[in-house]
Amino acid sequence: MIKFAIKTLGCKVNQYESQVIRENLQKNGYFETDVESADLVIVNSCTVTSRADGKTRGFIRKFNKINPQAKIVVTGCSAVYPEDIKTLESISGVYKVVPNRDKLDIPFILKSIYGMRCGIKSISEEVSGFDSHTRAFVKIQDGCDQNCSYCKVSLVRGASRSREEPKAFEEIIRLAEKGYREMVLTGICLGSWKGEGDRNLSDLLERVDALPGDFRIRLSSIEPNHIGPALIDIVARSAKICRHFHIPLQSGSDRVLSLMKRRYNTAKFRELVADIRSKIPLAGITMDIIAGFPGETEKDIEHTAGFIEEIQPSRLHVFKYSDRKNTASYDMTPKIDPVVAKKRVEHLIAIGTCLQEKFCKKFIGKEVEVLIEEKTAGGSFTGYTREYVQVKVPGSIGSPAGSLVRVKPTGIDPESRIALLG
């Protein structure tokens, strides 16, 4: 019996794909264990930033030190370009680098490692559950056609392609029957999903909303140019779909948005947020921001800070720009000094923290539905509302992870300043 371990870095799509690998190995007689005991260690990498690439290399070295006898196989988005594959192959302990395009071809992977002893009888690109997760991910789309100037992911994932509706519906129902109370629809560019007859994501959500079962659906990140009135309307009237939009803004400067090759400007983004709030006043609207983009000036960052304070997202994720080879922005100048970029990131994070607290306070005294995720060291439970507000629930409720409870938040946690107390 071959024992394996999997380490996943990066996005929800990567997590989904690692689960596909896991289940295919398990159903063919392979046994999952920890890195210390594994014969085979699979590292599913991420390349969205240089820091992500560094984490991949760091985990490889760590795992080789922990278990030098294990065969370490590296795959994922860091394993696309020949030069990157060569770099990974040169790291001590790496037995095999499997290009990202082949990572779900389990027979190919194992035959290249164990020869004819691979023992795989059949494979499936579907999942039946997620170990150690209270939420399940349902991949409905892959690839991206946006071609933003800073993004390597669209290059390594290829053109947009969509999963068939019946397959997605079957998986959602199967996961709901297994007891998952929240499914996250995910993809590299989720909003570009297309079905038969030019059916779009709004059409898919209409049918998802009608599926049987007591569960809720959450959308992962979706581009602003893919959110229209029909999509907002279905979220507004749905009993299943969470009232939460994660919309990458990236910059509040139209000049920088143009350099980034984003497909909107601040006026369009402002209109979108206003449309969402007119139909769903308490919708959670979370956003991504990149600070330190090449050529970004102090005036640009002031525009970004001012725009964020104007539209008031419920939560902000701020990232420092990372140069990625083969992207258009890699050759753009001037580059921003790392110290300056770090200060800009910290400034925007501070604004985001205040806005997050302000949004949380809107739910004090209101009944909310919380998906319990884990128990804290203090004995309470934590989870998230449909609007993606974190809530601490008293341990006296005693609900297990994965259950949905209804509570009325009473205030803000003085330590985190962002979590509500049920």
Which amino acid is located at 147 in the chain? N
Closest CA to 292 of 230, 334, 254: 334
Confidence category of residue 375, pLDDT binned at 50, 70, 90: confident
Per mean pLDDT, which range of 94-98, 358-362, 382-386, 394-398 is the poorest? 394-398
Q: pLDDT averaged over the chain? A: 93
Please state which CATH number belongs to domain 3-118.
Answer: 3.40.50.12160
Per CATH, the number for 136-361 is 3.80.30.20
pLDDT in the model for residue 130: 86
pLDDT digits (tens, 9 = 90+) for 186-237: 999 999 999 998 899 999 999 999 999 899 999 999 999 999 999 999 999 9
Q: Which residues contact 157 (CB under 8 A, 6 or more apart)?
A: 77, 100, 142, 143, 144, 188
Token pair of 311 as six digits: 């539209």
3-state secondary structure the chain: CCEEEEEECCCHHHHHHHHHHHHHHHHCCCEECCHHHCCEEEEEECCCCHHHHHHHHHHHHHHHHHCCCCEEEEEECCCCCHHHHHHHHCCCCEEEECCHHHCCCHHHHHHHHHHHHHCCCCCCCCCCCCCCCCCEEEECEECCCCCCCCCCHHHHHCCCEECCHHHHHHHHHHHHHCCCCEEEEECCCHHHCCCHHHCCHHHHHHHHHCCCCCCEEEECCCCHHHCCHHHHHHHHHCCCECCEEECCCECCCHHHHHHCCCCCCHHHHHHHHHHHHHHCCCCEEEEEEEECCCCCCHHHHHHHHHHHHHHCCCEEEEEECCCCCCCHHHHCCCCCCHHHHHHHHHHHHHHHHHHHHHHHHCCCCCCEEEEEEEECCCCCEEEEECCCCEEEECHHHCCCCCCEEEECCCEECCCCCCCEEC
The Cα 91–Cα 94 span in angstroms is: 6
pLDDT at residue 123 above 90?
A: no
How much is the pLDDT for 374?
Answer: 84
Indicate whether 174 pLDDT > 70: yes
User: Distance between terminal CA atoms of the chain?
Assistant: 47
CA 47 distance to own-chain centroid: 13
Q: Can you give the pTM of this predicted structure?
A: 0.93
Predicted confidence at residue 378, as pLDDT, reads 76
pLDDT band at residue 421 using 50, 70 and 90 as cut-offs: confident
Q: How do the domains of the chain map onto residue ranges? A: 3-118, 136-361, 368-421
pLDDT digits (tens, 9 = 90+) for 41-68: 999 999 999 999 999 999 999 999 999 9
pLDDT, average across residues 251-272: 98
Structural contact between residues 186 and 140, judged by C-beta atoms closer than 8 angstroms: yes
Sorting pLDDT into bands at 50, 70 and 90, what band is 379? confident
